[in-house]
Amino acid sequence: MNARYADRRVLWGRKALRPYDETSGFRCIHCQRHVSTARSQSGVWNRNHCPYCLHSRHLDWQRAGDRLAACKGGMHPVSLTFKQVNKRYGAAIGELMIVHHCTDCGKLSINRIAADDDHESILEIYLHSQRLEPRVLAEIEAAGIQTITAADFNRVLSQLFGKN
């Protein structure tokens, strides 16, 4: 590697066009608390939801981190799902993810759970999602998202708290 650019590489994140700033953050659109975007705390490259109330803002349009969504509306967590992982010999259950619903445009999106997210709040989303209206469940399924059911409760606990 060229020594002249070695220091610059450390200051930039995964993408060469965007600086990586450990001190930045944002104010939650729902609870108004300050949210750090430091990767060392959250464990994710693109922090897009509050670790306290788990609400988000509609920022991404086509892929995570593009920040091209036009509406910029508030997104509330409605359910949980598992990341779809395709293995060589069949599908496997991946990590736990949050399903958000935009209050302005109605778009559904899936977001990774970050390391500093409040596990009790995630469990509350699971419990609330078990009482969703059939209309909302149909909308989520129409978007190609498979919500977590009561049969998945032990898997949810295992991923959140490391228990079976």
pLDDT digit string, tens, across residues 51-71: 999 999 887 777 766 777 778
28 is in which domain, residue-wise? Answer: 3-161
Q: What is the pLDDT of residue 90?
A: 64
Residue with tokens 């693109």: 46
Instruction: Tally the residues of the chain.
Output: 164
Number of domains in the chain: 1
Stretch 120-138: mean pLDDT:
95
Please check the confidence at residue 50 and state whether its pLDDT lies above 60.
yes
Stretch 37-47: mean pLDDT:
75
Distance CA 118, CA 93 (A): 22
Do the beta carbons of residue 156 and residue 89 sit within 8 Å?
Answer: no
